[in-house]
Amino acid sequence: MKDRVNSKSNLQLFQLLLPYFKPHSFKILIALLLIPLSLITFAAQPYILQRAIDDSLKNFNLEKLYFYVLLLFLAVFLNFIVQSSQFWLINLIGQNSVADLRLNLFDHLQKLPMTYFDKTPVGRNVSRITSDIEQLSESFAGGVIFLILDIFNVVGILIFMFLLNWKLCLVITFFLIPIVFLIIKYQTLYRTANLEARKKLSEANSFLQQNIVGISVVHALNSVKKSIDKFTISNKEFFDANDATIKADSQLSAYIELVSFFALVAMIFMSSLILKNGILTIGTVLAFLQYTQALFEPIRNLSDRFSVIQSAFTAAERVDQLLEENLEKDEGLIEGVQITNEIFRLDKISFRYSRPLDLKNEDSKEEIFTDWVLKDLSLVFEKNKKYALVGRTGCGKSTIIKLLTRLYEIDSGEIFFCGKNINRYKKNALRSYIAVIHQDSYIFAGTLRDNIKLNRDENELDWEFIKPLLSLINLDLESELSERATNISSGEAQVINFARALITKPEVIVLDEATAKIDIKTEQVLQKFLEDYLQTRTAIIIAHRLETIKNCDQILFLRDGFVIEKGSHQDLLLAKGEYFSYQQSMSLTSK
């Protein structure tokens, strides 16, 4: 696949960042207005020195010498004040702009469809929001503006040199030509190498994140050594890729240093001839030597800025790739829902999953599709009834739930919610009426209150309603919970999962193996709580336990994406079909 390193120019990538600098236009204007003052106070110093030598020392005029010394001191002092102010403003602008970009990137990430997260490792997204943004922070908080300052310094010094002696100025300018060609050449080399290094860092972060989250599995299966070996390979690949960027950077710096050395040697040689023939004064020659050294100082800085800025453009391109990902579609306009007797109707829906052809290549857009998970499926879920979705693994039970909540979009057919096409509702409105409780519950680091609230509006929450659930765990609302529930039991974590879902008193409850990790006594309390609550609510239950589903109004038995049997528990057992065989096998397994 063709590398995307040159998919956008530096100017296009800079335009990506421009909106984040606009709110700070006034500060940027002040920083830019300080540039000429900084330039004059810096470039005037050798000129003042030249005047001091030729006007005062030559004639032993101490009064003029004191004046020029005072003038030089003022130039140095003003340059210090101006540059300090510039550096403070530049860093303030950069940090604020990058903070806004980080916030926007996180906001964008939250609104991406589930299909994006299916194909993108967590570590890759973390790298973009952390290391890539940090790279932009370091670069555009200083690199770009400092680059502009260095360019202005080079131009200013050349102007002063030209005013002193245009012939010598042309000689020095000649040495700038190869530097321009070197920067153009190494820009592409460095950018390509740096992009590869960032990719390898993302892969290492992804592997690291997965192994930290799954550390208990790694230890339980005695695969620590293999994990270390695999990370060693990933770490070596990042080292090699990063080494290529260092080589490109060091080679450019060395070449610029070599060119500046030849320029200084040429200047010294010409100065000796000039002084010998009395063409120019010693003050002019000394000023030119100082200008030559001062000229190549910002040029040397340019090589350092070059690597920093190219890293920034690499990071900007990776951030831009994330920002170019299409957001989750939400064309709905309806916010309020009028509950009808028919909650959901699935009319001949079909769906299949897709995945990237090459998971290791983050630039790859080629996808392949699975076989049809659901094909021409039609179902109806009515108000105040309990439904059970039953079937063997892979039959499409969980997929139906993902489609009802629009985490995924159907390929064909229609889904209706309360009599209207589901696409006509805003997703937030739709999901506010549905609570999905999964088998696996994620606990965030923070208090029990924060885990239940999840940044929602207090007006939407009924704490009194969930008190019976909270009584099942020996924690108060201010108890601190560790990430992934390491300081509580899995059963307590699942009770918290129930509490956070039911605190908004949703219209539709979906239980996806939700009681699998809960002990019998706690499950009985939960079942009683749900039984009372579901008198006026609709429930869709995915479960294998007979006790969980036997009292449902209708059981839907799925196979290969089709409903092959439906009816009450007793009716299906009497029919002695697939559901009967399935329950027999489950009973034997539980024994």
Spell out the domain ranges in the chain: 21-323, 333-353+368-433+533-591
340 has pLDDT over 70: yes
pLDDT for residue 2: 38
Q: What is the mean pLDDT of residues 64-92?
A: 84
Does this chain's domain 21-323 share its CATH topology with 333-353+368-433+533-591?
Answer: no
| Residue 475 vs residues 24, 346, 447, 464, 481: alpha-carbon distances, Å | 47, 42, 10, 16, 10
- Whole-angstrom distance, CA of residue 374 vs CA of residue 71: 84
- Whole-angstrom distance, CA of residue 542 vs CA of residue 560: 16
- Whole-angstrom distance, CA of residue 255 vs CA of residue 271: 24
Confidence tier at 5 by pLDDT (50, 70, 90)? very low
pLDDT for residue 6: 46
pLDDT for residue 278: 62
- Identity of the highest mean pLDDT range in 58-67, 70-79, 96-105: 70-79
Between residues 116 and 366, the one the model is more confident about: 116
pLDDT for residue 19: 82
116 has pLDDT over 70: yes
Asked if CATH classification 3.50.50.60 holds for the domain at 333-353+368-433+533-591, the reply, yes or no, is no
Q: For 454-507, how does the pLDDT look when each residue is reduced to its tens digit (9 = 90+)? A: 878 888 788 888 888 888 888 888 888 877 667 788 788 888 888 888 888 888
Confidence tier at 1 by pLDDT (50, 70, 90)? very low
Q: In the structure encoding, which two tokens stand for residue 169, read together?
A: 């100025």
Give Cα 396 to chain centroid, integer Å: 32
State the distance between the two ends of the chain, measured CA to CA, in whole angstroms. Answer: 53
Residues 311 and 139: beta-carbon distance below 8 Å = yes
The alpha-helical segments, DSSP class H, found in 55-175 are: 62-110, 114-119, 122-127, 133-138, 144-164, 166-174
Residues 347 and 413: beta-carbon distance below 8 Å = yes
- The architecture (CATH level 2) of 21-323 comes to Up-down Bundle (1.20)
Q: For 175-202, how does the pLDDT look when each residue is reduced to its tens digit (9 = 90+)? A: 778 877 887 777 777 777 877 887 787 7
State the pTM of this model.
Answer: 0.66
Cβ neighbours for 200, distance < 8 A, ≥ 6 positions apart: 234, 237, 238, 241, 242
Between residues 509 and 157, the one the model is more confident about: 509
- DSSP-derived pairing of the beta strands 508-512 and 538-542: parallel
Q: In what order do the strands lie in the sheet with 374-382?
A: 374-382, 342-351, 412-417, 420-421
Residues 384 and 341: beta-carbon distance below 8 Å = no
- Among residues of the chain, what percentage have pLDDT more than 90? 5
The candidate with the shortest Cα–Cα distance to 511, out of 532, 490, 542, 538, is: 542
Q: What is the mean pLDDT of residues 341-350?
A: 91
Between residues 260 and 344, the one the model is more confident about: 344
- Whole-angstrom distance, CA of residue 304 vs CA of residue 311: 11
Count of residues making up the chain: 591
Q: What is the mean pLDDT of residues 389-395?
A: 85
